[in-house]
Structure 1
Amino acid sequence: MVKRYGKSPFLVLPLETEGGKPLYRQLYEGVRQAILSGQLRPGVRLPATRQLAEELKLSRTTVLIAFEQLLAEGYVEGRVGDGTYVARTLPDELLANPPAHEARGKQQAGQRRLSQRGERIASLPLGVTPGAIPQQLFRLGIPALDQFPFDIWEQLARQQYRQAKWETLDYSDPAGYYPLRETLAAYLRTARAVRCTAEQVLIVSGSQQAIDLAARVLLDPGEAAWVEDPGYPGPRGALMSQGVRVIPVPVDREGLEIAQGQQRAPQARMAYVTPSHQYPLGVVMSLKRRLQLLEWANETGMWVLEDDYDGEFRYQGRPLASLQGLDENGQVIYIGTFSKVLFPALRLGYLVVPPELVAAFRTARALADRHSPGLEQAIVADFIAQGHFVRHIRRMRTLYAQRQQMLLAAIGRELAGELEVAPHEAGMHLVGWLGTECSDQEIAQRALKGGLHVPALSAYTLQARLRPGVLLGYTTMNEAEIQEGVHALKRLLREKEKHQR
């Protein structure tokens, strides 16, 4: 059992008062073992000898003798006027010859193995950088955080914290805060032509969790799922971690090539698509392909995951209606996220599922992490209900359209003939096409060292063979940063040319 003395944990030692071994020796060996096992970490302050003597019901002399032996052998160190601490550097002979129980523990740890699912998960690329991600030019998928109305958000947050109710502080419905589901359902019906009620909306921790839940609930290990090729690695990883066979299906100018999917895996149980703005190529799935996909799903019982990750950002005309809105048979699960329209750290997304699947998804969500934070859900509900959400999206559409034009103009001036970039009517990034002799992976790596985040297009492919290219995010960059980024990219490409010569 561990007790605390001030700020330092200490082990309560089982001392045998009637045994043959002296008490000071038992205390010495007990503390020494706690140090070697790591229970007492280097630099930890030990209790005062008087305090320890009282706690263990020993004479202070007994404790002093034990501590003097530890000090002489280098396990602890005294600091004048400041007590006794575990030594930061242990005796060399002890490090070279660990006790027998330590060797046994290391051997047992080496023999332990992961489950098959654990092995799959461990082998998948994480796709994100551990720890804080530095600010880099051309970052993908990040909204203009400097333009977010944090003053309004702060007012709503203060109001929620002042008037916090049990329903936002207690354990709550795994499907999410009901007022948020209501306001979100009303928004989706109007803005995205999604057919839904509040009961069909489930709040989750981002679109990645939505995909993971869908794979858990709807697919068994060994079953097949179509994915776009090229496509975002995150959904592929979520499916593969559940033992699903990922079937890459090519993408052309009309979106997912349904005929290729039918040929490669006619028995697939799921198709993951980004029809409003394919990631990363940016193409929009044609109406013909949408209807073809829905017809095939209805005939075979295949589920369709529609990831509408940035469907709000369309710069010409109204945003396209969702694929789910065309679905007459309940085959489409619609996924959305607040990461692109509000901010990523909020970690809120949502699913819209057919009514018959609500109970299963709710249970799966409860088993995963119970529910999303209640207060944050309540703040978002107020943000939407009071009209701030729609106004913010409108402002960002205008801003992002302007920033896209700035990027195109700067590339046209600085990189004409070296980087081919075409305007796009939607999204948060553009594809910069390179010369066929270039290695987009090499350019992406060199750019990263120079503070530019321009991922290689080939990094998003499984089997597809595409012309080399890089992805260029523009939503986080003001005009000066766009100019700086294009200049840096120009220098990088010119250096590459010199090396090739």
Structure 2
Amino acid sequence: MMQLPKLDEYDSAPVYVQLSDHIKQEIFCGALVEHSRLPSVRKLAELLGISTTPVEAAYQQLIAEGYVYSQPRRGYRVRAVVEGYHDILLGKSDTQITEDTKGINHASMTNRQGQAASTVVSPDLQSLRPVTNVTYDFHMSHNDFSLFPYAKWQQYANRVWREEAEELLFYGNPQGERGLRNEIAAYLAQFRGVRCTPEQIVVGAEQHLLMSLLTQTMLRKGGIRSIAVENPGYRLLPGTFRNYGYEISPVSLDNEGINLDELDRASVSLAGVSPSHQFPMGMPMPISRRLALLDWAERSGAYLIEDDYDGEFRYSGRPISSMQGLRENTPVIYMGGFSQVLAPAFCIHYMVLPKELLPHFGEVYRTVLFEQSASRLHQRTLELFMRDGELGKHIRKMRNLYKRKHDLTVQSIQQHFGAWPGFEIRGEHAGFHLMLRLNSKQMANAMVATALKTGVQVASAAYLWANESVPADGKKEFMIGFAGIELEKIEPGIAALASIWKV
């Protein structure tokens, strides 16, 4: 039986956040057991003396995070959560990650931009790269820069250059500017629920470089020569580790993320996952699976690489907190960056290493003596931008803009593809793209090429499947990016795509 919460109208957290956090605590303390039924939206609203809107929002947030499920005519019910985690500090990880980031105390405190850097691109990779001069650009990772704070950024850059020009011309800290790492640690705690110190953060110009340093760090640790990766999944992770001699074990996905039974059979000591928003399928990993995955890592003596490339952008409820922050001292290597939060051209990414890996990372540095790859000017500018609270303001603006584009894209796809055989949308409510799944006798690459010839750019997901595997149901999968396209072009662009591909 759930105890009713005491809601505080003067609390900085919205009512639906207070309510969803209270229900989580009831689940973890055992007051709400597996499959127990929650009060209906209307009933709970009456009991609390509030409107149904915050109750509905709280329930939807709990569903998104995997604490609750709903069934027709059976209402909202509690999902199974891994036992033994009643001591999780919800207030540290989830309650701080609110959709509205006003009031963050900054003073105390991934890049999906194409898949290859080579100028020579094979035909099967071409659809993954941005193309200029298209009428309708649904590329999966373009940004919208219409709201970028150009004047504010230039103001900070001019200040840094004026005060520190001579110093900035020399090499900086190989691990990244200390001030920026302080701000990143505070930012991750506030926005993503990550628990770390600035000493655990490594800044780099791009993901491949950081991943390469990570492979060498793991080799220095010893005993880890294989890695499990999501299938389908982001190619940079397995590609980088393969180039350093690691054995790659692709593991299939189910509706909740990486398949734990397959992961157990893979006998690996390292696994890469994207729990907040799986790439490319888009499903969030529910709390029970995330806890079970942490359990697997501890039981196996393994490490997890958490790719959180677009965790800030969720369009229904609050962003889902990181897996790294669910417990103290998790064996999780957290990867993130500012390519989608700000812009890819600044080339600022970061990884958060578990404390026990820091000595091995130090050995890599002493062996190679590498220098910092990210511009010191950009690092110092970003530090000031974050410290003054400008990043939080920018994220709120962009989340609202991308939500409008997301909602219109979903609506347009439903309108123009609703009658298509096997039509399905996946990956809603987060990120920069949607997955459109269809039945078709045509080859996916041929469909992409036909669309491009008529001015519509989309990408096939076929390349992201390992070892030439394909979806079990045989559907063709396309990534429809909505972030970079102008709002007024979304509906006619989807209409054009449906007309081009018509049966």
TM-score when normalising by structure 1: 0.69
Distance 1:394 1:152 in 2: 16
**Cα shift at 1:367:** 4.1
Higher relative CO (CA 8 A, sep ≥ 6), structure 1 or 2? 2
**Cα shift at 1:410:** 2.1
**Residues 408, 305 of structure 1: alpha-carbon distance in 2 compared, 3 angstrom cutoff:** same
Distance 2:177 2:167 in 1: 8
Q: Which residue of 1 aligns with 2:320?
A: 320
- Higher mean C-alpha deviation, range 158-167 or range 289-298: 158-167
Q: Which residue of 2 aligns with 1:388?
A: 390
Distance 1:375 1:135 in 2: 32
Distance 1:181 1:454 in 2: 36
Q: Name the amino acid aligned to 1:372.
A: A
Q: Which residue of 2 aligns with 1:403?
A: 405
Distance 2:126 2:326 in 1: 34
Distance 2:383 2:299 in 1: 38
Larger radius of gyration: 1
Distance 1:231 1:130 in 2: 14
Q: Name the amino acid aligned to 1:375.
A: L
- Higher mean C-alpha deviation, range 420-429 or range 225-234: 420-429
8 Å Cα contact 2:125-2:463 kept in structure 1: no
- Higher mean C-alpha deviation, range 414-423 or range 193-202: 414-423
Matched, 1:473 2:496: no
8 Å Cα contact 2:147-2:397 kept in structure 1: no
Matched, 1:207 2:213: no
Written as runs of structure 1 = structure 2, the 5 A alignment for 1:292-307 is 292-307=292-307
Q: Which residue of 2 aligns with 1:412?
A: 414
Written as runs of structure 1 = structure 2, the 5 A alignment for 1:224-373 is 224-263=226-265, 265-266=266-267, 268-361=268-361, 364=364, 367-373=369-375
- Higher mean C-alpha deviation, range 130-139 or range 379-388: 130-139
Q: Which residue of 2 aligns with 1:460?
A: 464
Written as runs of structure 1 = structure 2, the 5 A alignment for 1:433-452 is 433-452=437-456
- Higher mean C-alpha deviation, range 250-259 or range 402-411: 402-411
Q: Name the amino acid aligned to 1:322.
A: S
- Higher mean C-alpha deviation, range 273-282 or range 254-263: 254-263
Distance 2:386 2:125 in 1: 31
RMSD value over aligned CA atoms?
Answer: 2.8
8 Å Cα contact 2:257-2:283 kept in structure 1: yes
8 Å Cα contact 1:221-1:243 kept in structure 2: no
8 Å Cα contact 1:298-1:329 kept in structure 2: no
Secondary structure (helix, strand or coil) at the match of 1:309 reads coil
Equivalent residues, number: 373
Deviation by residue 1:402-434 (Cα, 9 ceiling, x = unmatched) = 101111222233332125335712111101111
- Higher mean C-alpha deviation, range 320-329 or range 297-306: 320-329
Written as runs of structure 1 = structure 2, the 5 A alignment for 1:32-47 is none
Distance 1:290 1:458 in 2: 27
Distance 2:160 2:500 in 1: 49
8 Å Cα contact 2:270-2:303 kept in structure 1: yes
Distance 1:179 1:168 in 2: 14
Q: Which residue of 1 aligns with 2:432?
A: 428
Deviation by residue 1:132-157 (Cα, 9 ceiling, x = unmatched) = 85255101122212221112111111
Matched, 1:134 2:132: yes
Distance 1:423 1:273 in 2: 16
**Cα shift at 1:222:** 8.7
- Higher mean C-alpha deviation, range 354-363 or range 437-446: 354-363
Q: Which residue of 1 aligns with 2:85?
A: none
Written as runs of structure 1 = structure 2, the 5 A alignment for 1:29-68 is none
8 Å Cα contact 1:222-1:245 kept in structure 2: no
**Cα shift at 1:128:** 7.4
- Higher mean C-alpha deviation, range 123-132 or range 183-192: 123-132
Q: Which residue of 1 aligns with 2:45?
A: none
Q: Name the amino acid aligned to 2:378.
A: E
Q: Which residue of 1 aligns with 2:378?
A: 376
**Cα shift at 1:287:** 1.5
Secondary structure (helix, strand or coil) at the match of 1:146 reads coil
Q: Name the amino acid aligned to 1:411.
A: I
**Cα shift at 1:176:** 0.4
Secondary structure (helix, strand or coil) at the match of 2:283 reads coil
**Residues 243, 422 of structure 1: alpha-carbon distance in 2 compared, 3 angstrom cutoff:** closer
Q: Which residue of 2 aligns with 1:486?
A: 494
Q: Which residue of 1 aligns with 2:184?
A: 184
8 Å Cα contact 1:160-1:379 kept in structure 2: yes
**Cα shift at 1:445:** 2.6
Q: Structure 2: which 5+ runs fail to align?
A: 1-117
**Residues 461, 433 of structure 1: alpha-carbon distance in 2 compared, 3 angstrom cutoff:** same
Q: Structure 1: which 5+ runs fail to align?
A: 1-120
